[in-house]
Amino acid sequence: MIVLGIDPGTAALGYGVIERTGGSLRMIDVGCVVTSPDLVFGERLRIIHDAVTELIETHRPTLMGVERLFFSKNVQTAFAVGQARGVVLLAAAQHRVDLREATPNEVKVAVAGYGAADKEQVGRMVATILGLAAVPTPDDAADALAVAITVANRERIGEPAHAAVLDRSASAPIQRGESAYDRAVREALARERTIAGGGRRAADE
């Protein structure tokens, strides 16, 4: 099974291609698509779409794994990443490639065993899992390989893919019942409420 992992972004979009044979994984290709900020945004999206299309046609993946947009403090960045994600999903649909999605937290847990792992830790684990002599660079490329590893390891042939109930922008049908994504969102919201509550108490004092 060939899996193409994508870490979406407009300035830099990471990609990684791996092959799963039985229980073993090996890297086939890795890199980063960089677009110039001097270009109009629509042109940058076209470049990303063309690059992903070329990757699909070259490697003919069984599956594509795309990092799911969770949330961002920078709204402008979140919108840009969402638009980049959109053209990636479009390329997958145009080539009828099955798509799987994972949140950053799910990827970190799957690769590093720890949801708060930093990029350096994730990169080292990617290199270890794939038997690479060095950590892939840049970080976007390592992150894309991490997405591919996550998707490859959790895939069960013949089982349908579903989206989490809270994930209205996911590409797969909605699944009822709490998923890992639902839990991640619920826990993040609870943390934000706790932090906000603490800030209000401090201000009152």
Pair (89, 172) in one structural domain: no
Pair (97, 188) in one structural domain: no
- Provide the pLDDT for residue 162: 45
Whether 98 is catalytic is no
Pair (199, 108) in one structural domain: no
- Provide the pLDDT for residue 22: 84
Question: Is 34 within 8 Å of 11 (Cβ atoms)?
Answer: yes
Smallest CA-to-CA distance from 55 within 80, 34, 36, 28 is with: 28
Pair (125, 144) in one structural domain: yes
Tally of structural domains, the chain: 2
Domain boundary among 161, 177, 192: 161
Pair (60, 138) in one structural domain: yes
Task: Choose, from 67, 106, 139, 167, the residue flagged as catalytic.
Answer: 67
pLDDT tens, residue order, the chain (205 aa)? 999 999 999 999 999 999 999 889 999 999 999 999 999 999 999 999 999 999 999 999 999 999 887 655 666 777 788 889 999 999 999 999 999 998 888 999 999 888 888 999 999 999 999 999 999 999 999 999 999 999 999 886 444 444 444 444 455 555 555 555 556 556 666 776 776 666 555 555 5
Pair (123, 195) in one structural domain: no
Whether 120 is catalytic is no
Pair (144, 181) in one structural domain: no
Pair (47, 66) in one structural domain: yes
Pair (15, 102) in one structural domain: yes
Smallest CA-to-CA distance from 18 within 98, 99, 130 is with: 130
- Provide the pLDDT for residue 158: 42
Coil, helix or strand at residue 163: strand
Task: Choose, from 7, 101, 106, 143, the residue flagged as catalytic.
Answer: 7
Question: Is 170 within 8 Å of 101 (Cβ atoms)?
Answer: yes
Pair (67, 19) in one structural domain: yes
- Provide the pLDDT for residue 159: 42
Pair (192, 157) in one structural domain: no
Here the CATH number for the domain that contains residue 23 is: 3.30.420.10
**39 lies in which domain range?**
2-161
Pair (144, 60) in one structural domain: yes
Prior bond to 104 cis, omega within 30? Answer: no
- Provide the pLDDT for residue 66: 94
Task: Choose, from 140, 143, 155, 167, the residue flagged as catalytic.
Answer: 140
Whether 139 is catalytic is no
